[in-house]
């Protein structure tokens, strides 16, 4: 089964039903939910997601979404090796570098994100939700 690593923005597109991005991102989410691919996320996506969501919905609702994501996706644990690799990745945002090395750790077939320029693409494909549909449908 293909391993797909989802950036936090894809999760938020679906949970918050972001008009412009919802339809594209929900296709990736659905493939994970229907076991067409194995969906992975970084452990930091959960706290990032909760932090953003608690400003937009009640804290209890934000936690319910965290539970939903925990039940649906495989979580890549954050460990010292990922942090050391991320902190030493030149000219990259630290949070994005953690996401990247989390995907590398599980040997993901691709990273799905709306921020492709934030990730190096010489280790694995970094694709938008639209490009994901072309690759995996």
Please write the tens of the pLDDT for every residue from 48-90: 999 999 988 888 899 999 999 999 999 999 999 999 999 998 8
Higher-confidence position of 38 and 55: 38
What ranges do the domains of the chain cover? 3-136
Mean pLDDT is lowest, of 5-14, 30-39, 88-97, for 88-97
For the chain, give the percent of residues with pLDDT over 90. Answer: 78
Residue 91 has pLDDT above 80, yes or no: no
Bridge partners, 94 (sequence order): none
Over residues 13-34, the mean pLDDT reads: 92
Task: Report whether pLDDT(111) > 90.
Answer: yes
- Is 32's pLDDT higher than 90? yes
- Choice between 91 and 31, residue whose per-residue pLDDT is larger: 31
CA atoms of 112 and 84, how far apart (whole Å): 23
**pLDDT score of 137 more than 80:** no
> Is residue 41 classed as helix, strand or coil in its secondary structure?
strand
- Domain 3-136 classification at class level: alpha beta
State the pLDDT confidence band at 19, using cuts at 50, 70 and 90: confident
**pLDDT, greater one: 91 or 99:** 99
User: CA nearest 6: which of 69, 80, 60?
Assistant: 69
- What pLDDT, on the 0 to 100 scale, is given for residue 122? 83
Q: Please state, in angstroms and rounded to a whole number, the distance separating the CA atoms of residues 101 and 5.
A: 11
């Amino acid at each position: 089964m293909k391993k797909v690593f989802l950036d936090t923005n894809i999760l938020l597109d679906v949970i918050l039903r972001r008009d412009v991005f919802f339809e594209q991102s929900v296709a990736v989410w659905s493939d994970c939910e229907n076991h067409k691919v194995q969906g992975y996320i970084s452990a930091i996506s959960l706290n990032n997601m909760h932090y953003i969501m608690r400003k937009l919905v009640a804290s209890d609702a934000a936690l319910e979404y965290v539970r939903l994501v925990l039940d649906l996706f495989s979580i890549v644990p954050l460990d010292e090796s990922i942090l050391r690799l991320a902190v030493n990745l030149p000219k990259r945002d630290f949070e994005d570098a953690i996401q990247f090395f989390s995907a590398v750790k599980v040997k993901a077939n691709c990273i799905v994100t709306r921020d492709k320029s934030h990730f190096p693409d010489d280790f694995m494909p970094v694709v938008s939700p639209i490009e994901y549909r072309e690759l995996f449908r």
